[in-house]
Amino acid sequence: MQGAILDWYAAVRRDLPWRRTRDPYAILVSEVMLQQTQVARVVGRYEAWLERWPSAAALARATPAAVLREWVGLGYNRRALWLREACAIVARDGWPQTAAELVRLPGVGPYTAAAVASFAFGEQVAAVDTNVRRVAARLGRGEPAELLPAGRAGDFNQALMELGATVCRARAAACAECPAAGWCASRDMVAAPPRAGARKRERFEDSNRWVRGRIVSALAAGQGMPAGIAPERLEPALAGLVRDGLVRRTAAGLSLG
């Protein structure tokens, strides 16, 4: 099964720029950008980011305001500052090379730490995101870590992510296209979770996160506070941005970082 999955991945994997490197900095940037952001939105921004800041040391020297301006549109702006803070530690102390050490960096959780450790440093550790957990559960063959082939953790982690993202999807598992179908406990039995009775979802434009994003975008463009948003929505969002260190109040007005 492991061999079939690895062979499938080698043949069909998407050509993504962060899959062409073992540079821990480039991999960390990609993993942070990809958190809750679609691949298609990330590729161009990732390449522009590395062109501007090609190393952890270069990013550590950047101002918070410059980092936030470059991040506009990717969402969850606090991630950008955590990434800068992590790179400042790396620039000073060098790269941690295990997941147990990487997880101590600002903004780096267990999945991101395992991804960097396995992709950049070859550590034999499972990088378990939503896709990987779903594939492992459907296979019915134990926890993701138990599936790893010896010495191939990085490739196998990537393969399981690709499988979950493109074939073994949450609501549309294409079992006929799956390289692991012959070993899968859930083959042709995957059912999408019911939608009946689901509560109405809030529009993104009605959320506080949307207002925060509009404020950061406006300040990054030198436009001041965004127009067309009611003060009762602007003030709580602005207060949260100031509290989180994304916006500063100065004698001259508001500024990023």
- Is the CB of residue 167 less than 8 Å from the CB of residue 11? no
Mean per-residue pLDDT, 182-204: 72
> Is the confidence at residue 197, as pLDDT, over 80?
no
Q: Average pLDDT, stretch 112-123?
A: 98
Confidence of residue 165 (pLDDT cuts 50, 70, 90): very high
Q: Kindly give the residue spans of alpha helices, DSSP state H, lying in 72-129.
A: 78-93, 99-102, 110-121
Model confidence at 121, in pLDDT bands (50, 70, 90)?
very high
The dihedrals phi and psi of 177, each to the nearest 5 degrees, come to -100, 0
Task: Name the residue with tokens 């941690």.
Answer: 96
For residue 172, report the phi and psi dihedrals to the nearest 5 degrees: -150, 70
- The answer to whether residues 63 and 144 touch, using CB atoms and an 8 Å cutoff, is no
Q: What is the pLDDT of residue 93?
A: 97
31 is catalytic: yes
In the chain, what are the domain boundaries?
Answer: 2-183, 204-256
Of 3.30.70.920, 3.90.550.10, 1.10.340.30, 3.90.230.10, the CATH number of 2-183 is 1.10.340.30
Mean pLDDT score, 124-140: 95
Which amino acid does the sequence have at 8?
Answer: W
Q: What is the mean pLDDT of the chain?
A: 91
In this predicted model, what pLDDT tens digit does every residue of 38-95 receive, in sequence order? 999 999 999 999 999 999 999 999 999 999 999 998 988 999 999 999 999 999 999 9
The model's confidence at residue 160, banded by pLDDT at 50, 70 and 90, is very high
Residue 184 backbone zone (phi > 0: left; psi -120 to 50: alpha; other: beta): beta
The residue ranges of DSSP E strands in the chain, in sequence order, are 247-250, 253-256
Cβ(257)–Cβ(112) under 8 Å? Answer: no
DSSP class of residue 18 equals: G
Least confident of 40-54, 136-150, 159-173, 190-204: 190-204
Please give the share of the chain, as a percent, with pLDDT higher than 90. 68
Alpha helices, DSSP H, located in 98-182: 99-102, 110-121, 130-139, 144-147, 153-166
pTM: 0.84
